[in-house]
Amino acid sequence: MDRGALLSFEEIDRVARSFVRHGVRKLRLTGGEPLLRKVIEGLIAKLALTPDVEDLTLTTNGALLARKAADLAEAGLCRVTVSLDSMDDTVFMAMNDVGFGVRGVLDGVAAAAEAGLTPIKINMVVKRGVNDGSIIAMARHFKGSGHTLRFIEYMDVGTTNGWRLDDVVPGRDIVEMLDREFGIEPVDPSYRGEVAQRWCYRDGIGLVGV
């Protein structure tokens, strides 16, 4: 987009404050890729000063996270959600048209944990025939890591991703797969209207969201 068409930090801050005045308590920066925005720490520092905000978070593809995690935390970010659709580079790149591999994302997650941007959530969008074969490896990797893996329904995002219903893997299939491999059971929502249904491993080590 043309620079002039983007909201300035002052405008974003003003919109955020309006929402907070009407009762919003959680702010999430997303995109696009929020870490590509120059000096995003400046925006975070502004938003962190908003009275009554209880949670200030950001969703990222993780490419720049290793470099930026400490500065984000220092600016006042509470935590991050990181998108990662496979542990396998070929599958990961087939899902995402990005020019980086899984290693960099994992380094970003480690840097975020080190900087205290926790609890960290990992978002895995599941697309049939592309990365559904990565579900178990992803679950195994993050089980016991302290980070919560969440399986996201592949959604139609307009004309850009050629969405078909056949591409969607139903949540119950994912739950069945995890139950067969590890044994999982449902957990009550942690707040009213929670976005994901939560499941815990029967051995007590870790949680996933669907």
Can residue 60 be called a binding residue for ligand SAM (CB under 6 A)? yes
Can residue 170 be called a binding residue for ligand SAM (CB under 6 A)? no
Taking the complex as a whole, the smallest distance from the CB of residue 157 to ligand SAM amounts, in Å, to 5
Can residue 131 be called a binding residue for ligand SAM (CB under 6 A)? no
Count of Cβ atoms closer than 10 Å to residue 142 Cβ: 23
Residues 209, 187 contacting (CB under 8 angstroms): no
Taking the complex as a whole, the smallest distance from the CB of residue 140 to ligand SAM amounts, in Å, to 20
Can residue 145 be called a binding residue for ligand SAM (CB under 6 A)? no
Tell which residue, 197, 166, 203, 148, has the closest CA to residue 181. 203
Q: Which of 154, 182, 199, 201 binds ligand SAM (CB under 6 A)?
A: 154
Which stretches does DSSP call E strand in 85-206?
121-126, 148-153, 184-187, 198-201
Place of tokens 């009550």: 188
Contact set for ligand SAM, span 66-95 (CB under 6 A)? 83
Tell which residue, 152, 136, 145, 146, has the closest CA to residue 184. 136
Binding site for ligand SAM (CB under 6 A): 30-31, 33, 59-61, 83, 123, 125, 152, 154-155, 157, 161
